[in-house]
Amino acid sequence: MARAGSAVRSTPTARFEFVEIDRLHGHEGLQPALLERLTAEIKRDGYLKRPILVANGDLVVLDGHHRLEALRALGCRCVPAYLVEYFSDVVRVTTWPDAVVTHVTKEEVIRRGLADDRFPPKTTRHTVLMVLDDHPTDLEDLM
């Protein structure tokens, strides 16, 4: 279902860019142990392997909350991201099999992100129906 006033697009659209960390809104909580492991891995490797996924316009993080917060902990000012037209049919949202919440909508993801009313960690599972390259990025380019 499209948000009021937005057109549903069937053409795949994703734009790669570097986004200032402070402009982004998370919609899910974090798992501290996973965040700690990922932060150590990124620091050790010296680069981020894959961009995060972000709703264009609202700048709500769809996938990559732990990557985002690991970069923040490492002192980065920006993050590589694919910005997608979230209300298009290119992006689908479901829940993970073990999630506490069993049903989510795109509208609820955006609302929670903008209100800082986060779902429990690993609730939403976003699928993008197009290929998004890994695009490894050196940490020093994100400072």
Q: pLDDT tens digits, residue range 84-128?
A: 999 998 999 999 999 999 999 999 999 999 999 999 999 999 999
∠ CA 14-19-22 to the nearest 5 degrees? 135
Q: φ, ψ for residue 92 (rounded to 5)?
A: -120, 150
Q: Whole-angstrom Cα distance, residue 24 to residue 17?
A: 13
Q: Does the pLDDT of residue 140 top 50, yes or no?
A: yes
Q: Whole-angstrom Cα distance, residue 12 to residue 26?
A: 23
Global pTM? 0.89
Q: Does the pLDDT of residue 3 top 60, yes or no?
A: no
DSSP symbols for 39-84: HHHHHHHTEESS-EEEETTT-BEEE-HHHHHHHHHTT-SEEEEEEE
Is residue 48 domain-resident? yes
Domain enclosing residue 29, as ranges: 14-129
Is residue 135 domain-resident? no
Is residue 37 domain-resident? yes
**Looking at residue 45, which CATH number applies to its domain?**
3.90.1530.10
Q: pLDDT tens digits, residue range 50-80?
A: 999 999 999 999 999 999 999 999 999 999 9
pLDDT, residue 118, reads: 96
Known catalytic residues are 28
pLDDT, residue 116, reads: 93
Q: Whole-angstrom Cα distance, residue 28 to residue 12?
A: 25
